[in-house]
Amino acid sequence: MSDDHGHGHGDPNLAHHWDTMDQQVHAGKFGMWLFLSTEVLLFAGLFCAYCVYRGLHPEVFAEASKVLNWKLGALNTVILLASSFTMAMGVRAAQLGNKSQTSLMLVLTLCGAGGFMVVKAIEYNEKFEHGTVWIGHKNSITGDYNYSPQDKFKDVEYAYPAEAAEAAPDESEHGDPKLAALLDTTVTPIEPKLGGGIVQPGVAPSGLASDDGKRVTTAPKLQNMHIFFGIYFVMTGTHGLHVIIGAIAIIWVLIRNIRGDFTPKYNLPVDLVGLYWHLVDLIWIFLFPLLYLINLDPWN
Amino acid sequence: MGDHALPPGDWKEGDHVPHVVSWQFLLGILVTLLCLTALTVIAAKVHLGSTLNVGVALAIATVKATLVAAFFMHLYWDKPINTVILLFSLALLSLFLGFSLLDGMQYQDSVIKDYAYRQMTEKNYKGGWDPAAALEAHHHDAGHGDDAGHGEDATHGEDDKVEDDGH
Amino acid sequence: MKDNYLTHSRGFLSWALTLDHKRIGLMYLVAVLSSFLVAGIMALMIRAEHLAPGADLVDADTYNRLMTLHGAIMVFLFIIPSIPGALGNFVLPIMLGAKDVAFPKLNLCSFYLWIVGALLAVGSIAAGGVDGGWTFYTPYSLQDGRIGVIGMTMGVFILGFSSIFTGLNFVVTIHRLRPPGMTWFRMPLFLWGIYATAILQILATPVIGITMLLLIAERVMGIGIFDPALGGDPVLFQHFFWFYSHPAVYIMILPGLAIISELIATFSHKHIFGYSFIAFSSVAIAVFSFLVWGHHMFTSGMSPLAAMIFSALTYSVSIPTAVKIFNWLATMYKGSISFQTPMLYALAFIFLFTIGGLTGIFLGSLSTDVHLHDTYFVVAHFHYVMMGGTVIAMLGGLHYWWPKMTGRMYSEFWGRIGCLLVFVGFNLTFFSQFLLGSLGMPRRYHTYAAEFQSIHVASSIGSFTLAAGLFITLFYLVHSLFRGAIAPANPWGGATLEWHCTSPPPHDNFSVAPTVGDPYDYSDLSYDPATGGWVSKAGAKA
Amino acid sequence: MSLWDALFGSEGQLPPKLSTTAAEVDWLYDYIYWWCVFFFILIVAVMAYFMWRYRRRPGHSAQPSPSHHLGIELIWSVIPTILIIPIFYWGFTGFVALQQAPADCYKIEVEAYQWSWKFRYPTGANLGNKETPDAPYFGLHVPPGRNVQVILSSDNVLHSFYVPNFRVKNDVVPGRYTSAWFNAPYVDPDSPEFENWPPEAPTRLETKNGIYKVNAHRLFCTEYCGTGHSTMDSWVFVHESEEKLQQYLKEANDLWGKETLAEVGAELYAKNCASCHLKAGQGVVAPIFGRLSDNWGKEITVIDGASNQPVKVTVGRDYVLQSIQDPGSQLALKDYNDQGTPWANNMQQGLYPTLEAESYKGTEKQQFVGKNGLDAIVAFIESVNKQEDK
């Protein structure tokens, strides 16, 4: 059924069980899309966890997301979008048989991947320094938490009011304005929402306000703040892992391209790696607003 | 929408003829995506209420994702089956999300609010002081020692302090 | 012997690095049957322990590990890859008229991922064992001292990708490698079943992957998503787990249903009844299976609203399943039924699977499920479906395609004896467990109350009978490899394409492009006593 | 019970039905059972007939028959669908009946541990699941013919509360309260229900002060919880009368001369709390607790420490326990407005968190009082007003 298509089997890139290159390419793309759908469903679990906990603790997400630096997030979005563009250009160049342009575009895409990971590393480092990380698991030997409430959460003091008084003086030393704002003991304006039969709407309850109408308290007492960071690290971590896998795949097609494997008739691997890379971008497009843009400060 | 000129080479029946998109078009998509990124930041800066903010952010993200999928990923020119696969996986995602969310929100009134807090902060919460045992020490009444099923004498040393505090 | 796929090339590497779907299928077969043997021995130890109420043979921790490993190995290492990985890999491209699956390298990769996953999962025994059941419910699986859980969940994650790659390969193969003439509605029903299974493998399995990753993250890092002590929600874990693991039940049973459709038609020598209803019922089961996962959680603290929705949706699965059984019976009507071993397994399947399916109604109904959930009733129910369904179908399929795979005929006499022992032993083992469960015996119990002993003993005796039947099967199959009669190309009178090529098939499957016709048209075939096989009348005349 | 009985539905297949809801469950079980028997016999009989009638034999070959028939296909798709609908409906209504406890329940708190149960009664009695030399009082004791609700909570992992004779089961989820309810009669041990009763089930409990006639029902844990999972069982004792139950609990609840948990709580309060927390009045340095007693069981508005929003809470055990252990989590608005007291003055100057140094959590007091002591104090706060009413 096949060998009469002589031109098909003349091509070393055409596997023996395919009749034509067209068939092989479409099958490859079809398979890749099926694989991408598994990736979508892999992230579905993470999005589900995100939605459930945001639904349960909206205030935690609103407060905790302020610790994230949206500017770095936006920078990473721009980097990934640009690298997606260079990847699309790379695929175009491969289709046209322009080997050197393909290499250039793939290298540019790799730079995007590297840049993304560098920015991500800066962000992670910041979180670790301030202890704004997941809660940590109880150590089975000592009974302590790996990231114990006393040590790692002292800067933010969401879940543990008892330590608030001790933690509060430290925050200025860390110099993170977001943290300072979160811990601020003087400037948070009262939200005129206190209702019920006891306090008139729009009027600050006498005990909650000092004379200048500012909230006087130590810290917002948010339990479960660590869940946001747990989800943040798992989501961005899994995504970061995909960036690394994508970068490795790009290196692989880059080597093959330099070796001269690709022609206008056969450039399927570039196309498939491109699809994978665009999916990485696609997921970040959703992660960025969901994690970084929950509760930005309004225009001043 | 893209140039449709055949790439160089002699093309025969059965070869895969790729769809080549012009670089101007791809650049245009990139610029649109960057504009939408700026827009989503601006939208987040305007407080519309959390539900509406999330809605706007997700709507913009969906538009961006559609642009990437349709043009960078060539779905627009591909066989429709690939789009079907993507949509099918998205449908399952929403099914999974919808049911889990529906159920998770339903039973929240039965959650013990300080359970995690207690577990994380109070190592001595369990097997702690027992009223019966302490009262036993307090009254020095040895005649009722048979209800020690839940007694733990680990805190007996503290009982003197109870008295000290009291007096 | 003529050149065939077994003799095409020689040497260890020609097997270890083969891209031939038939060889990969055979390697899969050996691998999954080995894990069946391991997990089966564990099951026998469990049954031996239950001969008496107290702790006699093993202590509680050992029992719990045996019970967990039995479940996990059977589910993840044996049943899920069994029919698609072993029989599907071997048969699917030939049935379709293709030379191979779409991505042969991915196929081999899938097999080696299975090996890695299996090593990790079984290696968890060395790391202190795993208990808690194959469901890994939090927060128990997060408690101190269960390092084995990490290895096991990592293994499950990798096995998931093995399963995804197999499914992906099959979907692309069926879409893109159908030869001219092989339209969708000329595909044998086995392919429809495998196709529906493959879709489930692709779309459901990633969720178990992320669930296992989150479980590992929770266990190692403590991220607070599933652990209530850190503010997480253990019921959410159950949603995650069952979103995959309910479709996984259909990943296990759909290929079994698919094999039975082939067996019933071939051995009745009559066109399958209601082809399109059987084909679409496979797809319908696949779609509905995504909507019903909550019925594993009726008593787990899920909200009554969700329980109601899931109970209603659960019944939707029963309809296409019933349709299949009725169609098989209608196929037998006015047929000419021969009772060779594969057909005996197919008939046993109808008997057992009917029981398994009907008892599911008790569990899908909310108020009766409250009493029966997490008792031996559930154990009996899913063994009737998984073992009485999938494993019996797999044995049927194995006997059916054994001549094609090995080129040898097994002993028909011992085949029937084995089938009978398996059937009797199985019913004794698991029907008594229905009674145990409805009387209130909870599952996963190391010791039990004395009043349950007589039924437990009956169940254990049944399991030893079942094991005897399976060992007999193992012995005569292995024996046939060396002493079996040479198999004809078409020993049963099947009309699908795999019977058009020689036994065993040549390396390239088809030297001449096969003519694709109706896969259930037996009118052209007649029995040829000279070769012991069936030949085409048209071909004989020519 | 014989195997023969087991062929005829729930009578032989299910344990005795000894709660008010069990009969409905059994009825549905039988309904499903007989439909299943019908379809099973139908399928197997048709299969067996075809096997014999159309067996391959000389002179017989497959006869032509249609390979599909839309009408038949639709019929056997639609008929099972119709049969399924009432099963779903009755299952659902029965489930709702099992889930929704009536209003007037006798409430018992059941806590699950690895691997034991603890039963806490309204009288303050606190019993384990097994009889030991140290704990002669054990088990879940319930009054006959009265709605009983068990409030389930878990210490650390999942468990499940299962009483086969009542057809009741619910998982015990850590971090949440779940519940189950039942209404069990006291049955004379000579009646036929006792024919197959397990021999080790006691029919009478002998204590040093009396003999109690009971029905003993097995209680199991049905959610895997570790090494001791299969030994995590107990008995549900249905007493012959509510008076005898109270007598038994009073015996079990013998708190070294105290009658009730509230009295124990009063003692603890006097020793640990009274120097700062008064019931009412001016001049106090810490919140008064009289309002809690006044408003017990009612809804009040508090400021949620997490969101700084007013929320409604019900004054009860949970709220008081939480407020003692985490004073900042829910702040009663009225406390702010107690003009003139040193406490309120501090509050208005934003100094209240500093008082945490003086508060309960993490202090020595926590070491003495512990969880059970807290319960006693809560019982005391609850009881203050009731005593005065009398």
Quote the number of domains for chain A: 1
* Size of the A and D interface in Cβ pairs below 8 Å: 68
pLDDT tier for residue A214 given thresholds of 50, 70 and 90: very low
**How high is the pLDDT of residue C7?**
87
**How high is the pLDDT of residue C78?**
95
**How high is the pLDDT of residue C66?**
92
Is the model more confident about C295 or about D379?
C295
Tokens of A205: 């309850």
Tokens of D48: 């067996």
- Nearest Cα of chain C lies from the Cα of D349 at a distance, in angstroms, of 33
Q: Which chain C residues have a beta carbon less than 8 Å from that of B99?
A: 239, 294, 306, 309
8-state DSSP, A116 = H
- Alpha-carbon distance of C486 to C532, in angstroms, equals 10
Could you tell me if D246 and D127 lie in one domain? yes
- Nearest Cα of chain C lies from the Cα of A26 at a distance, in angstroms, of 8
Q: Which of C360, C189, D30, C240 is nearest to B104 (CA)?
A: C240
**How high is the pLDDT of residue B6?**
59
**Confidence check: pLDDT of A265 > 90:** no
Identify the three-state secondary structure at position C533: strand
Could you tell me if D203 and D170 lie in one domain? yes
Is the model more confident about C353 or about D288?
C353
Contact D55, C339 (CB under 8 A): yes
Lowest mean pLDDT among A173-177, D177-181, D249-253, D268-272: A173-177
Dump pLDDT digits (tens) for B79-106.
899 999 999 999 999 999 999 999 888 8
The fourth-level CATH superfamily of domain C12-541 is Cytochrome c oxidase-like, subunit I domain (1.20.210.10)
Is the model more confident about C466 or about C317?
C466
**Which of A77, A144, A277, A300 best tests the B interface by mutation, with the highest count of B CBs <10 A?**
A77
The percentage of chain D sitting over the pLDDT mark of 90, rounded to a whole number, equals: 33
Residue D130: φ, ψ to 5° = -130, 150
Dump pLDDT digits (tens) for C528-539.
888 888 888 765
Mapping DSSP onto H, E and C, the string for A68-110 reads: CCHHHHHHHHHHHHHHHHHHHHHHHHHHHCCHHHHHHHHHHHH
User: Once rounded to an integer, what is the mean pLDDT over residues D309-318?
Assistant: 77
- Hey, are the CB atoms on C240 and A52 less than 8 Å from each other? no
Rounded CA Rg of chain A: 26
Q: For residue A34, give the chain C residue with the closest CA.
A: C168
Q: Which amino acid is at B98?
A: G
* Mean pLDDT of the residues in chain D: 81
Tokens of C507: 């390396």
* Buried/exposed code over A27-48 (b: 16+ C-beta within 10 A; e: otherwise): bbbbbbbbbbbbbbbbbbbbbb
Highest mean pLDDT among C18-32, C229-243, D101-115: C18-32
- CATH number assigned to the domain comprising residue D149: 2.60.40.420
pLDDT tier for residue A209 given thresholds of 50, 70 and 90: very low
Beta-carbon neighbour count of residue A110 at 10 Å? Answer: 18
Dump pLDDT digits (tens) for A48-74.
999 999 988 887 788 778 778 899 999
CB nearest C338 (choices: D28, D56, D157): D56
Is the model more confident about A89 or about D284?
A89
Q: Which chain B residues have a beta carbon less than 8 Å from that of D137?
A: 147, 149
- Residue A105 belongs to some domain of the structure: yes
- Nearest Cα of chain A lies from the Cα of D389 at a distance, in angstroms, of 27
Half-sphere exposure for B119 (CA within 13 Å, toward CB) = 24
Could you tell me if D134 and D157 lie in one domain? yes
CB nearest B85 (choices: A33, A62, A299): A33
- Edge-to-edge strands of the sheet including D126-128? D126-128, D116-120, D106-113, D147-154, D178-183
**Confidence check: pLDDT of C386 > 90:** yes
- Nearest Cα of chain C lies from the Cα of A180 at a distance, in angstroms, of 24
Q: Which of C330, B113, A252 is nearest to D75 (CA)?
A: C330
- Hey, are the CB atoms on A1 and C207 less than 8 Å from each other? no
- Nearest Cα of chain C lies from the Cα of B119 at a distance, in angstroms, of 5
Say yes or no: C457 contacts chain B, CB-CB below 8 A: no
Q: Which amino acid is at D42?
A: L
What subunits touch chain B, counting only 3 or more CB pairs under 8 A? A, C, D
Question: Domain boundary residue among D223, D252, D281?
Answer: D252
Residue the block writes with tokens 């779309």: C203
- Hey, are the CB atoms on D368 and B159 less than 8 Å from each other? yes
Dump pLDDT digits (tens) for D135-169.
678 899 999 999 999 989 888 899 999 999 999 99
Beta-carbon neighbour count of residue A203 at 10 Å? Answer: 11
Mapping DSSP onto H, E and C, the string for chain D reads: CCCCHHHCCHHHHCCCCCCCCHHHHHHHHHHHHHHHHHHHHHHHHHHHHHHHHCECCCCCCCCCCCCCCHHHHHHHHHHHHHHHHHHHHHHHHHHHHHHCCCCCCEEEEEEEECCEEEEECCCCCEEECCCCCCCCCECEEECCCCEEEEEEEECCCCEEEEEHHHCEEEEECECECEEEEEECCCCCCCCHHHCCCCCCCCCEEECCCCEEEEEEEEEEECCCCCCCHHHCCEEEEEECCHHHHHHHHHHHCCECCECCHHHHHHHHHHHHCCCCCCCCCCCCCCCCCHHHHHCCCCEEEEEECCCCCEEEEECCHHHHHHHHHCCCCEEEHHHHCCCCCHHHHHHHCCCHHHHHHHCCCCCHHHHHHHHHHHHHHHHHHHHHHHHHHC
- Alpha-carbon distance of B139 to B159, in angstroms, equals 11
pLDDT tier for residue D127 given thresholds of 50, 70 and 90: confident
Q: Which amino acid is at C190?
A: F
- Alpha-carbon distance of C396 to C411, in angstroms, equals 14
- Nearest Cα of chain C lies from the Cα of D373 at a distance, in angstroms, of 22
- CATH number assigned to the domain comprising residue A72: 1.20.120.80
Counting as low any pLDDT under 50, the low residues of chain B are 1-3, 122-167
**How high is the pLDDT of residue D321?**
79
Structural domain of D197? 106-252
Highest mean pLDDT among A104-108, A177-181, B127-131, C303-307: A104-108
* Mean pLDDT of the residues in chain C: 92
**How high is the pLDDT of residue B9?**
64
- Alpha-carbon distance of B134 to D368, in angstroms, equals 8
Q: Which chain A residues have a beta carbon less than 8 Å from that of B92?
A: 41, 44
Contact A65, B50 (CB under 8 A): no
- Hey, are the CB atoms on D301 and A198 less than 8 Å from each other? yes
**How high is the pLDDT of residue A147?**
45
User: Once rounded to an integer, what is the mean pLDDT over residues C479-491?
Assistant: 93
Exposed, middle or buried, D334 (CB in 10 Å: 0-12/13-18/19+)?
middle
Q: What pTM was computed for the model?
A: 0.83
Under 8 Å CB-to-CB from A164, ≥6 apart: which residues?
A157, A218, A219, A221, D353
- Alpha-carbon distance of A48 to A70, in angstroms, equals 22
Question: Domain boundary residue among D234, D252, D270?
Answer: D252
pLDDT tier for residue C404 given thresholds of 50, 70 and 90: very high
Dihedral in degrees, nearest 10, Cα atoms D76, D81, D86, D92: 140
User: Once rounded to an integer, what is the mean pLDDT over residues C511-537?
Assistant: 84
Could you tell me if D186 and D280 lie in one domain? no
- Residue A276 belongs to some domain of the structure: yes
**Confidence check: pLDDT of A212 > 60:** no
- Alpha-carbon distance of C478 to C474, in angstroms, equals 6
| ipTM entry | 0.84
- Alpha-carbon distance of D377 to D274, in angstroms, equals 12
CB nearest C206 (choices: A41, A53, A146): A41
Tokens of B27: 């650049």
User: Once rounded to an integer, what is the mean pLDDT over residues C461-490?
Assistant: 95
- Nearest Cα of chain D lies from the Cα of C450 at a distance, in angstroms, of 8
- Hey, are the CB atoms on B139 and D257 less than 8 Å from each other? yes
Residue C388: φ, ψ to 5° = -65, -25
CB nearest B100 (choices: A40, A48, A81): A48
* Buried/exposed code over C506-538 (b: 16+ C-beta within 10 A; e: otherwise): bbebbeeebebeebbebeebeeeeeeebbbbee
**How high is the pLDDT of residue A230?**
87
N residues, chain B = 167
Could you tell me if D310 and D373 lie in one domain? yes
Is the model more confident about D329 or about D178?
D178
Could you tell me if D79 and D115 lie in one domain? no
Q: For residue B71, give the chain A residue with the closest CA.
A: A88
- Nearest Cα of chain B lies from the Cα of A7 at a distance, in angstroms, of 8
Q: Which of C21, C29, C6 is nearest to C477 (CA)?
A: C29
Q: For residue A145, give the chain C residue with the closest CA.
A: C222
Dump pLDDT digits (tens) for D332-378.
655 545 555 555 555 554 444 434 444 566 555 555 555 566 777 88
- Alpha-carbon distance of D354 to D346, in angstroms, equals 9
Is the model more confident about A174 or about C322?
C322
**How high is the pLDDT of residue D386?**
64
- Nearest Cα of chain B lies from the Cα of A265 at a distance, in angstroms, of 6
Question: Domain boundary residue among D227, D252, D277?
Answer: D252
**How high is the pLDDT of residue A184?**
32
- C-alpha distance from residue A127 to each of A124, A233, A295, C178 (Å): 5, 10, 18, 54
**How high is the pLDDT of residue D350?**
46
The percentage of chain C sitting over the pLDDT mark of 90, rounded to a whole number, equals: 75
Dump pLDDT digits (tens) for C20-46.
999 999 999 999 999 999 999 999 999
- Residue A241 belongs to some domain of the structure: yes
Quote the number of domains for chain D: 3
Q: For residue C202, give the chain B residue with the closest CA.
A: B89
Structural domain of A47? 21-140+226-292
- Hey, are the CB atoms on B126 and D371 less than 8 Å from each other? yes
**How high is the pLDDT of residue D368?**
54
- Residue A218 belongs to some domain of the structure: no
- Alpha-carbon distance of C390 to C397, in angstroms, equals 10
**How high is the pLDDT of residue A257?**
94
pLDDT tier for residue A205 given thresholds of 50, 70 and 90: very low
- Alpha-carbon distance of D43 to C221, in angstroms, equals 54
Cα-Cα-Cα-Cα dihedral sign, residues D275, D281, D284, D288: positive
pLDDT tier for residue A171 given thresholds of 50, 70 and 90: very low
User: Once rounded to an integer, what is the mean pLDDT over residues D272-282?
Assistant: 70
- Alpha-carbon distance of C24 to C85, in angstroms, equals 8
Say yes or no: C60 contacts chain D, CB-CB below 8 A: yes
Q: Which amino acid is at C302?
A: M
Q: For residue A231, give the chain C residue with the closest CA.
A: C223
Exposed, middle or buried, D46 (CB in 10 Å: 0-12/13-18/19+)?
middle
- Hey, are the CB atoms on B111 and D176 less than 8 Å from each other? yes
Residue the block writes with tokens 């009658």: D259
Interface of A with D (CB under 8 A): 59-60, 161-162, 164-165, 191, 193-199, 205-208, 210, 215-218, 220-223
- Hey, are the CB atoms on B117 and A159 less than 8 Å from each other? yes
CB nearest A149 (choices: B47, B114, B121): B121
pLDDT tier for residue D253 given thresholds of 50, 70 and 90: low
C:460-499 residues touching chain D, CB 8 A cutoff: none
**Confidence check: pLDDT of D128 > 70:** yes
**Which of A25, A84, A293 best tests the B interface by mutation, with the highest count of B CBs <10 A?**
A293
Half-sphere exposure for D145 (CA within 13 Å, toward CB) = 6
- Hey, are the CB atoms on A38 and C230 less than 8 Å from each other? no
Tokens of A231: 């989800």
Dump pLDDT digits (tens) for C300-354.
988 888 999 999 999 988 899 999 999 999 999 999 999 999 999 999 999 999 9
**How high is the pLDDT of residue D332?**
63
CB nearest A231 (choices: C99, C225, C229): C225
pLDDT tier for residue D254 given thresholds of 50, 70 and 90: low
Identify the three-state secondary structure at position C507: coil
